[in-house]
Structure 1
Amino acid sequence: MYGEHHALIEDFPDYRETIHRLKVEDAEFARLMTEYNRLTKEIEGLEARDEPVTDDYMEARKRERVHLKDRLYENLMAAV
């Protein structure tokens, strides 16, 4: 949704400590989270600046972000 922030900790506030622990201890989780944050920043920046990009480009970025979020969530649930 336009204007909505998608920080992982905001989406899963009950797992804040686990997210932090995994970010520090699990290199793959940290890599996925870095990519998720980079992609979120790109999408939010394009939306905020109302950049002229194609719908296909924006939808592809959002699908990629959902895929990353799903992988992060799987890793998070496996660590709980």
Structure 2
Amino acid sequence: MSHTPHELHEEFPEYAEKITAMKTQDTHFARLAEEYHEVNRAVHRAESNVAPVEALAEVEMRKKRASLKDEIYRMLSA
């Protein structure tokens, strides 16, 4: 599979070290990061037609990814 865009370290390069640290120190953050990773990969598979889904399902996955990203950002910037 090709490079998956929207990985957390690429979305928040200024927080790359903090992301790594928080994944090991904060179980809630680690769980959010893992869920983001799973949803992001699903969106990428849908967008690249590796695992196509209905348009509405893809929109919902993107909304979920955005929501997780917002929550992750709030934790990183706190």
Taking structure 2 as the reference length, the TM-score comes to: 0.88
One-letter identity of the residue aligned with 2:28 = E
Q: Tell me if structure 1 keeps the 8 A contact 2:18–2:76.
A: yes
- 2:55 & 2:15 partners in 1: Cα distance? 33
Q: Find the residue that maps to 2:6 and give its secondary structure.
A: coil
TM-aligned CA deviation for residue 59 of structure 1: 0.4
Taking structure 1 as the reference length, the TM-score comes to: 0.86
- 1:52 & 1:37 partners in 2: Cα distance? 18
- Is 2:67 aligned against 1:64? no
TM-aligned CA deviation for residue 50 of structure 1: 5.4
- Is 2:45 aligned against 1:45? yes
Distance 1:34 1:7, change over 3 A: same
The answer for unaligned runs of 5 or more in structure 1 is none
The two structures, once aligned, show a CA RMSD in angstroms of 1.6
1:28-66 alpha-carbon deviations (Å, 9 max, x no partner): 000000000000011101222254422111100000000
Determine the structure 2 residue equivalent to 1:32: 32
The answer for unaligned runs of 5 or more in structure 2 is none
